[in-house]
Structure 1
């Protein structure tokens, strides 16, 4: 495997501005002063990604009450994200990184193992960005199922 960027606790979170499912630009810097859960997922409307997104929605009130906002980022186009959000009742911003630039900067796109083969793709990853824009927690290769419950346990939420 080739060397790829991996973010670690204490690193500055790479800023970004990406369109959400309605086309509105959303910047990480918009969230300064609050903690943000930024998670990267491979594809909207697939079983694992749907489970993960629904888990975040079901836990969103508790996360928000504890001071955390949630942003989901995938390479899907805006129209697919809008349909995904509407079909699943998702209530947090889904952002489109169609050219995978942001994913690459965050280490969430690159070589990974898939059924024993090395392939290029989205590495399911979750980050906590603190109020000042630093990485507080970085998790790569997370599982879609059970991830939000584990995250809540780790965050004591």
Structure 2
């Protein structure tokens, strides 16, 4: 197993432990809503400490139900995860491209570069020959491409 695979496996186990341990240890058993969000916990604490507290502002949009609020939160989390995945994928692709470009410039890749250059030269020569042939054919007075479509 490679070093990256070991690190990824360890991180996955830590995340799973963080999700499962509170349930197994019963950390929220003494509460009415054991795993309420931080907003609900803060609201409860504020109303207990100062019952006459008035919020400074109200939300711009209040979802009609808790299910819709949860769905919007999940959508927000999914979009954030997508942006992060795109960013890290882009970085990895650029890094791999740089490694490939660097490998192409090293000794041993010179034969490959020579082959590419020879192929490009042969293609350019063939194109120039075809152009010269077509030009000569046009100057010969045939008025363009021959009837069989060969052009020469």
Q: Which has the higher strand share?
A: 1
- Structure with bigger RCO (C-alpha 8 Å, 6+ apart): 1
Rg larger in 1 or in 2? 2
Q: Structure 1 length as normaliser, TM-score?
A: 0.19
Q: Which has the higher helix share?
A: 2
